[in-house]
């Protein structure tokens, strides 16, 4: 029995020895810099930080100020204009099941590379003193570039280089300190295949004729459609103008009806009486009298809950 217990105890200790270092590695800080270099000279950066769940992460303001300061220093060093895309900075954090926290810092660096004569040169920015310390310290660096480019020269030599995947990788950024880093990519064009002889070259004349006929028909149809559209627009415009004139005459006719009622009744009436005789609604009568008042045809005075309407002198004899 004692031997069995001793064996179980030894096995438990061995498992603890294996598990505890693993958890320690999972919880320790880890930094990776991923730089996607683009053909226009810009670069999309993704900084991945793995830390303990209670570890501190950068604020958005601190992250943004850190990048702007670094870009300014790189611009002064390389003597080319650079900037941070103001819409690009983002921070996202996730908690994993192994009690670690992963934070991603994303931003776009405008003019990260010097694009000239079909080449991209960008390693010079890493020459800024303490470049990666101004970010989040030493970490792995992965650089990817467009498939239409190839590596012309690179220093320091990457730990891993896969030309087919367009990637350069360093296990640590300490190799960039106290050196003159540079990375030059050149653009290449895929070879063009020679034209295949056309066995129907003799039939070029009728094909060209057919193309001309089809083009002429298309142009004629387009002009006809345009003419029909213009006729419809003119017709709609004329109808709109006629409706506007008709509406104006109707309003004038209604105002004249009010004036005639006032003339028949001696030029002075209560507004409610005008409503009764005109058969208009109260709102319509008020609207017409307001228009006549603005034109100087009538005057109105308040009388209790009603109004006295007086036809101006020059209108009574009309």
What pLDDT, on a 0 to 100 scale, did the predictor assign at position 44?
96
Whether 304 is covered by a domain: the verdict is yes
Is 281 contained in some domain? Answer: yes
Tell me: do 178 and 280 sit in the same domain: no
Determine contact, residues 257/272, Cβ cutoff 8 Å. Answer: no
- Does any domain span residue 206? no
> pTM for the whole thing?
0.52
Give dist(CA 161, CA 169) in Å, integer. Answer: 6
- Torsion region of 166: left, alpha or beta (phi above 0 gives left; psi -120 to 50 gives alpha): left
Within this chain, do residues 104 and 31 fall inside the same structural domain, yes or no? yes
Structure confidence at residue 237 (pLDDT): 79
Domains in the chain, number:
2
Q: What does the chain come to in residues?
A: 318
Average pLDDT over residues 296-309: 91
pLDDT at 123 over 90: no
pLDDT at 179 over 80: no
Query: What distance in Å separates the CA atoms of residue 166 and residue 188, rounded to the nearest whole number?
Result: 13
Query: Is 5 inside a domain boundary?
Result: no
Residue that terminates a domain, selected from 187, 210, 238 = 187
- State whether 151 and 258 are in the same domain: no
Based on the fold, state whether residues 183 and 308 are members of the same structural domain: no
Same domain, 50 and 166: yes
Question: DSSP of 186-235, one letter per residue?
Answer: EE--PPPPPPPP-TTGGGHHHHHHHHHHHHHHHHHHHHHHHHHHHHHHHH
Question: Is 9 domain-assigned?
Answer: no
Measured between its terminal Cα atoms, the distance across the chain in Å is 133
> Region 57-65: what's the mean pLDDT?
91
Which one is predicted more confidently, 9 or 48? 48
Is 6 a domain residue? no
pLDDT digits (tens, 9 = 90+) for 243-287: 665 666 666 688 899 999 999 898 899 999 999 999 999 999 999
Answer whether residue 61 shows pLDDT above 60: yes
Question: Within this chain, do residues 161 and 40 fall inside the same structural domain, yes or no?
Answer: yes
pLDDT tens digits for range 225-239:
888 988 888 888 777
Q: Which residues form the domain of 310?
A: 249-318
CA-CA distance, 3 to 217, in Å (whole number)? 101
Query: Of 11-15, 85-89, 139-143, which gets the smallest average pLDDT?
Result: 11-15
Question: CATH number for the domain including 143?
Answer: 2.60.40
CATH code of the domain containing 261: 1.10.10.10
- Whose CA is closest to 142, among 266, 43, 230? 43
Return d(Cα 173, Cα 136) in angstroms, integer: 11
Residue 203 lies in a domain: no
The answer on 273 and 172 residing in a single domain is no
């Amino acid at each position: 029995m004692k031997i069995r217990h001793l064996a179980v105890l030894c096995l438990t200790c061995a498992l603890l020895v294996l598990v505890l270092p693993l958890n320690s590695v999972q919880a320790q800080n880890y930094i990776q810099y991923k730089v996607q270099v683009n053909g226009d000279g810009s670069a999309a950066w993704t900084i991945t930080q793995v830390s303990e769940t209670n570890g501190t992460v950068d604020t958005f303001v601190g992250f943004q100020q850190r990048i702007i300061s670094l870009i300014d220093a790189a611009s002064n060093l390389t003597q080319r204009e650079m900037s941070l895309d103001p819409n690009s900075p983002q921070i996202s954090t996730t908690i994993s099941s192994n009690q670690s926290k992963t934070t991603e810092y994303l931003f776009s660096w405008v003019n990260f590379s010097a694009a000239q004569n079909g080449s991209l040169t960008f390693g010079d920015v890493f020459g800024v003193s303490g470049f990666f310390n101004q970010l989040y310290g030493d970490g792995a660096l992965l650089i990817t570039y467009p498939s239409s480019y190839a590596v012309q020269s690179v220093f320091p030599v990457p730990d891993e280089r896969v030309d087919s995947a367009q990637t350069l990788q360093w296990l640590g950024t300490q190799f960039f300190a106290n050196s003159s880093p540079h990375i030059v990519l050149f653009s290449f064009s895929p070879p063009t295949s020679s034209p295949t002889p056309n066995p129907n070259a003799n039939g070029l004349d009728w094909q060209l004729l057919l193309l001309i006929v089809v083009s002429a028909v298309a142009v004629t149809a387009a002009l006809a459609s345009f003419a029909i559209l213009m006729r419809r627009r003119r017709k709609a415009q004329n109808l709109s103008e006629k409706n506007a004139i008709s509406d104006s005459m109707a309003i004038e006719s209604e105002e004249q009806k009010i004036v005639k009622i006032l003339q028949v009744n001696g030029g002075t009436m209560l507004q409610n009486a005008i409503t009764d005789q005109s058969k208009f609604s109260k709102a319509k009568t008020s609207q017409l009298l307001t228009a006549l008042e603005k034109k100087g045809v009538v005057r109105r005075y308040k009388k209790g809950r009603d109004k006295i309407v007086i036809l101006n002198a020059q209108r009574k004899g009309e």
